[in-house]
Structure formats: C-alpha cells, structure tokens
Structure 1
C-alpha cells in the first residue's frame, strides 16, 4: 500500500493546482477551454484563494506548507493582474478638439431602442458602435433619433450595407451629422460579425474601428484568439491615431488581448463591470472596451446602463 503524500509532495500538488487555476499561462493553458473563462475572474479567484490559504496557514498542521505555497501563487496572480491593468503613458502633443465614442452591445437587438436613443441624444457621441445590431435595430433606433446616420453590416460581407443585415452576429455604426461625410467600410470580413472602420470627414486623422470578436465558448475559442490578434495591426501604428470600440469578449486579464494591445492604451482599464448587466457593477467583468493609440488624449470614460441589454455601454471622451 502506498503511504500518504509527504508534506513536500502535498505542497507540490496543491501549488501546481493553484498555478493551473490562477496562472494558466505557466502551463500554456490560457488559450485552451475552459481556462480563458476562468481567467476572466482571475483577480477574484486570487483574492479568495489567498484568503482561504492564509486561514489554513496560520494554524500549525500538515497543510501549512501547502497553504503558504498557494498564498504565494495567489500573490503572483494578483501581481500579474495589477500589471495588466496598469496605467500607460498618455501621448504628448494631442490637441484640444473634442471627440467622443459610445459602444453598446444591444443583445441581438433586444435592447430598448427608445431608451438608447435618449442616451445618445443626451450624450451626443460622435461615433456609436453597436455590436449585435443589424438593419432592423438600426431603423428602430434612428426613428427616435435626430442628427445621426447609420450603417449595418453582416458577417462575411465585404461592404457595409444599408439594408439586409439582420440583428444578431452583426454590427451597426452611427455617426453624428457634425462629422460630415465620412468613409464607412467593412474590414476583416472573415470575422464572425464583420468589423467596420469609420474615417475621414470631421474625424480628421483619427479612425474609429468597431469590433466584436467571437464569443468565448469552448468551440469558438480558436476564433476568439484569431480575431483578437487581428486588432494588433490597427493599434501598432502610432502615426495613425486609432480608437477601437466594441464588445471584445475579453478582459485585460487575457493574454490574447494583451498581445493585441502592444503600446496602445485601454481606456476601460478601471471602469465598472459591463457584463452581465443584471449583476452588480462590482461583481461582473469588463469585456466591452475602448482602446486608443496615437495622439489622442483621454478626458473621461464611464459605464452607462442600456435597458433591455445584457451589457452596459461605455462612453469615452477625448481630445485630439
């Protein structure tokens, strides 16, 4: 018969388990289901694990060494989380001209268009990005909203279309009339939703990219990793100021999003949780983001409720 594990063996086993849970990157698991979903809650898991381990470790006994080791892993996980949410230097030379964007996932067109129109009318963002909104939702929204134009696209299509894109895995953008004639086109047509870039007109040198990478489920995780990687070229050129807006289905804990960021700045690094909307803002996760690169200065960012949606919206204001 085999004897019970020694204290050293027990510590090794529990430490490996803690690393797999809190630092899956160490084992190359962070892009393999179900670990990305677990990683989204890394900070909460690390705090809970550390508290439990310390409660065990303060008492003499056979599990004390294991508790100390697990506490050390939890501290490392918290350190990584803090690093990934760190502040990044703001650019030098941004002008004083204002610009604002609003991103709101409307949950397959289930959000209340009248309530969203009221929010848009009150906040007056220059560009609005609406994941999971197609032609039907766009029409209902614009019926109660003046001063905006809208375009909807569908997955796999190479051009933005004014009609024919159903609510669902689609993306709609609105632009304020004050921007004048802008160029709106679909990029990365091989994505599940179709991504849309807005440029020209009153945006000047700035371009706004509306995105919605694949949802983070076991069978779509490879698509999620691939689509997040498509963000990097858009953010890598500091000479072309870029704002990325959308539901990224990723938190700043996720390695694929960190790889895509490079030197870009996540405006939403410290905002309240955006999903799910029926959880308290302090409990959920932030998967709706605004990312910026180039000479754009962040003035403010806030999270807004969107009646009828499972997401909250993000409103960001800049100068350029």
Structure 2
C-alpha cells in the first residue's frame, strides 16, 4: 500500500498534465510540473527496490511522460537569423509599482533595450521611472490608465504607431503598438498581463485572460507577445496559445526551465516557476535570451534579442 501511495501522485499529475485537465487547485500544481518530473524518479527507485513490478511500471510511465514534456525546454534549437535587423526587447512585472525604477532603467541602458513591456504600472511608478531617466533612453510610450495596476504598458526607443489597448473578458488591459525598424517588416508588440489564479475564485478569470490573448497571425502582421502570462508551458490554455503558431523564446534557446517568479511576501517559500514569457511569431528568430533579477519585484526581468524578417 505504501508503495502505491508513493507512485500514485506522480502518475495522477502526469495524466492531468497530458490531458490538460487542470481545474481548481490543479492549476497551481501543474505549474510545478518540472519539479515533479525531477522527483518522479524517486517512486520508481523505491518500487524497484521493493520489487513491486506493477507499481514500478506505473512509476516508469509517469517518469517518461513528465520528463518527455519538460526536457525539450532545456534543449536549445539551432540559432537562426531570418535576414533582417535585430530588436532587443525586455519585459518586467514591477509588482504593483514596488520594483526599483532606477534598477530597471539601468537594465535598459546596460543591455541596449529597444522596447520594454511593463506590467502592474501605476502613476507613482511612472513618475519615479521618469525621474530615474527612462525618457532619455526610451522616449516613446503607451500606457493605459496608470491608476489601474494591472495595466500593461510599452516604452520604446523607436516611434510607436497603431497604438491601442487590448481588454479581454478578464478585464485586464494590455497596451499594444507597431514598431518599425529600418529594413524590417513592421512588428506588432503587446505587453501581456493575464489574470493570476491566486485563489480558486480567480481560476475562471485566469482561463478567460489566457484564452483572450491575441493568436499568432502566420499570414498576417508579424506579432510578438511579452509579459506576465501567469501560466507556465505546462498549462493547457498556454499550450493552446502556442499552438496558434507562437514559439516561446526561453524554450527555443534551451532555457525554458529558468524560473521568472517566486513569492516574496506571502510568509512561505516556493521554488521559482516560469510564468513570464516572450512569444515570437514563426517568422522571427531568437538570437539570445536572458533572465535578470529585478530588485523590489517578485518577478525577474526577461530579455530576448530577436532577428526580424526583412521588409
């Protein structure tokens, strides 16, 4: 009996993950699939040591299933270049405006960022961000009502055209705009902030926010989504969004297991998970990807350099 008690949780999680059955509290558990994959070897070893062959077979199946979905994220694809100029983008959730604005400006300067997506903006942070010098490096911007912390805004070195705010059924607002680099096709960029499943009551909002994201447009405008999706690559609505044609920059570069968020003020400690993403159109290519700490925030800043298709 003890052997089956050890084997069953991993097998159940594998079934939920593969079938996309996360509902209620399972949404939170599925976020930690990479850690479950690493731990799933333990029940197998225990079952083999006890010669419980049926339990061992179930444990082995769970191990294969979980590692099969997780391991590809740690394998880098072939570095590509699609022939046009490059664009350096950064996304940062500033935790209700609590992140250090000077530290974020320094990241932008040091890494020569062209476009910055910011989530959880408010009026106080916007003022402090200006005082820290963001206008001198990224003079163009679009922000929605800065009093709404769920706001996703954009700052850019390049002029922003076709600007607007996308609001889905979750009620969250996301700024979008078109950036045109000399010699490249126009690129539509959106600062994503999807509803967080902080409680069971928030799960419907979470589903609505992810399902309301803009799908990839392989035959239309070249598109890039970046921001806080509040979902990992193991969540079924996130996988459905990717299935429209996007590629995840982290997984593309073999860094898909790097966590981008961890709780810092809830009185408990959990390992980091990857819920901040840069999703690229299949006509783009990722040249580099990095994750950097952002003082004051529970999210890290996520960076990518992308190769743009020629005009």
Question: Which bin holds the TM-score, normalised by the shorter protein?
Answer: 0.7 to 0.9
Task: Tell me which residue corresponds to 2:163.
Answer: 184
2:200 aligned with 1:214, yes or no?
no
Contact 1:109/1:167, CA 8 A, preserved across alignment: no
Contact 1:173/1:210, CA 8 A, preserved across alignment: yes
Quickly say closer, same or farther: Cα 1:45–1:199, change in 2 above 3 A.
Answer: same
Structure with more contact order per residue of length (Cα contacts < 8 Å, sep ≥ 6) = 2
Quickly say closer, same or farther: Cα 1:89–1:224, change in 2 above 3 A.
Answer: farther
Task: Tell me which residue corresponds to 2:267.
Answer: none
CA deviation after TM superposition for structure 1 residue 35, in Å: 0.9
Distance across 2 between alignment mates of 1:181 and 1:64 = 62
2:126 aligned with 1:147, yes or no?
no
**Match for residue 284 of structure 1 among 272, 277, 280:** 272
Task: Tell me which residue corresponds to 1:82.
Answer: 71
Task: Tell me which residue corresponds to 1:103.
Answer: 91
**Match for residue 54 of structure 2 among 62, 65, 74:** 65
Distance across 1 between alignment mates of 2:173 and 2:160 = 22
Quickly say closer, same or farther: Cα 1:89–1:260, change in 2 above 3 A.
Answer: farther
Quickly say closer, same or farther: Cα 1:297–1:183, change in 2 above 3 A.
Answer: same
2:180 aligned with 1:194, yes or no?
no
Contact 1:102/1:316, CA 8 A, preserved across alignment: yes
Q: Which has the larger radius of gyration?
A: 1
2:245 aligned with 1:254, yes or no?
no
CA deviation after TM superposition for structure 1 residue 131, in Å: 0.7
Quickly say closer, same or farther: Cα 1:26–1:95, change in 2 above 3 A.
Answer: closer
2:117 aligned with 1:117, yes or no?
no
**Match for residue 15 of structure 2 among 14, 23, 29:** 23
Task: Tell me which residue corresponds to 1:160.
Answer: none
Runs of 5+ consecutive residues of structure 2 not aligned to the other structure: 265-269
Aligned length: 293
TM-score (normalizing by structure 2): 0.83
Q: Deviations over 1:218-254 (max 9, x none)?
A: 2111221222122352x14344211111011111111
Distance across 2 between alignment mates of 1:232 and 1:172 = 16
CA deviation after TM superposition for structure 1 residue 187, in Å: 1.5
Task: Tell me which residue corresponds to 1:37.
Answer: 28
Contact 1:229/1:256, CA 8 A, preserved across alignment: yes
2:153 aligned with 1:169, yes or no?
no
SS of the residue corresponding to residue 201 of structure 2 reads coil
2:226 aligned with 1:242, yes or no?
no
SS of the residue corresponding to residue 182 of structure 1 reads strand
Contact 1:195/1:210, CA 8 A, preserved across alignment: yes
SS of the residue corresponding to residue 185 of structure 1 reads strand
CA deviation after TM superposition for structure 1 residue 64, in Å: 4.5
CA deviation after TM superposition for structure 1 residue 143, in Å: 1.8
SS of the residue corresponding to residue 314 of structure 1 reads strand
Contact 2:249/2:277, CA 8 A, preserved across alignment: yes
TM-score (normalizing by structure 1): 0.81
Contact 1:106/1:133, CA 8 A, preserved across alignment: yes
Quickly say closer, same or farther: Cα 1:43–1:147, change in 2 above 3 A.
Answer: closer
2:256 aligned with 1:273, yes or no?
no
Distance across 1 between alignment mates of 2:160 and 2:195 = 31
